[in-house]
Structure 1
């Protein structure tokens, strides 16, 4: 299941499966972030693994100077179309998160909606956080939004199915070898598509320890998009704010 994301994120079906990640979630998360960072003019924001622009678009609408990057040309095409329709000046870059590099400095770097843990080894998974030190301003903030390992292990849903835009979507989930594995089958009329996801499970403490070793300091944390306090067993999300 090596680099499963290349096929999955390049497919036309990805946005259909995750259409339930609604704008309300995105807006709540952005509001949480913006309410917990210093207010300043001319904020330069980097949206890492930006996908179709779920966060970069509303940020640009709020007046931020936004750059987004993603590996998927398919998702970036959607982001660029939506940006053009809204007459927004967002810089979109196609790049692998492990090797992306910028000459610019950013005041805010975002890694949202569990866009982390996709690789086979820890070094690759944490590579972006190490490299980001070079393009995060000295007073800048890095925000990571990831699932809570403790909660997920106790609340994983083995099977679910739903119909979205005429597609029957069936999802099998299991935790195996320290990863959450999801097998996805999409029935669209007479066509059947099969994909999978494999995301490494890191605990809140494991993530914080790595960031600390890289020279970051944890300055804030939350357990959901509404800003509730983080609880190891009850929180669905781990939302961490770091500074250098």
Structure 2
């Protein structure tokens, strides 16, 4: 029997949002300002933020003057994001494995929102959908963790206390995946979830993008758009056309 994808359950829980509620919005905003300036995107640009989570990047991009659509599989996240909708900002439930009905000027895949699937074919299918969803000369911006640095500095065990919930986190790199086991006691019961993203270094990601017909135009290593270094950079950011 096929089990539900791990992210369908975990991203839809309130605990996911509690654990990550202190994510750094300043970083996200710095990156959005820098990348839109670097690409010199005119204000008429229609950007698809996919998957958009609760919409923090999309809302900020919209505040910069862009028309933005956010798509995400997690219904709870979209329900939350819809509170921010306006004439030039829309959110919808969308699974990246399904093709889009529209074409966009730019598509952003941010904050390590890729590489969830066992089968490479599914990751390639998503990239194919993204490519087909872009207008001619449109940009694809891909923001992922830097797998090599993660491997070099893997914190195997850690405890985080947020809102009086003690989250026990264990990390491992196994069978080509970076895996995070999260367990905690809340609402009088024990919970356990697992996050898994594929170990995608620059070689593998470049191979993926070229395979579906993208050309990489820029590679950055952080949100200040500094050069990428496989050992020290915090992020692997690729711009492709």
TM-score bracket, shorter-length normalisation? over 0.9
Counterpart mapping for 1:146-225 below 5 A: 146-188=144-186, 190-225=188-223
Correspondence 1:98 to 2:97: yes
1:115-164 per-residue CA deviation (whole Å, 9 max, x = no partner) reads: 00101111101211112222211121000001112111111110111211
Q: Is the 8 A contact 1:167 1:189 kept in 2?
A: no
Pairwise CA RMSD: 1.6
| In 2: Cα distance, 1:2 partner to 1:234 partner | 35
Distance in 1 (CA, whole Å) between partners of 2:77 and 2:107 is: 19
Mapped partners of 1:166, 1:44: distance in 2: 41
Deviations, residues 172-217 of structure 1 (Å, cap 9, x unaligned): 1111111111111133363432211111111111111221222211
Matched, 1:30 2:32: yes
User: Which segment is superposed worse, 110-119 or 184-193?
Assistant: 184-193
Instruction: For residues 63-104 of structure 1, give each alpha carbon's deviation from its aligned partner in whole angstroms, at most 9, with x where no partner exists.
Output: 2111111110011111112x05xx5642212121111412x2
Rounded Cα–Cα distance in structure 1 between residues aligned with 2:62 and 2:87? 7
Q: Give yes or no for contact 2:114–2:123 (8 Å, CA) kept in 1.
A: yes
* TM-score, normalising length: structure 1: 0.92
**Do 1:61 and 1:88's aligned partners in 2 also have CA atoms closer than 8 Å?**
no
Alignment of 1:121-136 (within 5 A): 121-136=119-134
Specify every segment of 5 or more residues in structure 1 that has no aligned partner in the other structure, as ranges.
none
Q: Give the direction of change, closer, same or farther, for the CA distance of 1:231–1:187 in structure 2 (3 Å limit).
A: same
Quick one: which of 201, 221, 237 aligns to 2:235? 237
Q: What does 1:65-144 correspond to in 2, within 5 Å?
A: 65-81=67-83, 83-84=84-85, 87=86, 89-102=88-101, 104-144=102-142
Once residues 136 and 81 of structure 2 are traced to their aligned partners in structure 1, the CA distance between those partners, rounded to angstroms, is 29
Counterparts of 1:3 and 1:149 in 2: how far apart (Å)? 22
Q: Go from structure 1 to structure 2 and tell me whether the alpha carbon gap of 1:225 and 1:171 turns closer, same or farther (over 3 Å shift).
A: same
Give me the whole-angstrom Cα distance separating, in 1, the residues matched to 2:190 and 2:182: 10
Q: 2:58 aligns with which of 56, 67, 71?
A: 56
Query: SS where residue 194 of structure 1 aligns?
Result: strand
Gaps of 5+ in 2: none
Paired with 2:104 and 2:87, the residues of 1 have a C-alpha distance of: 19
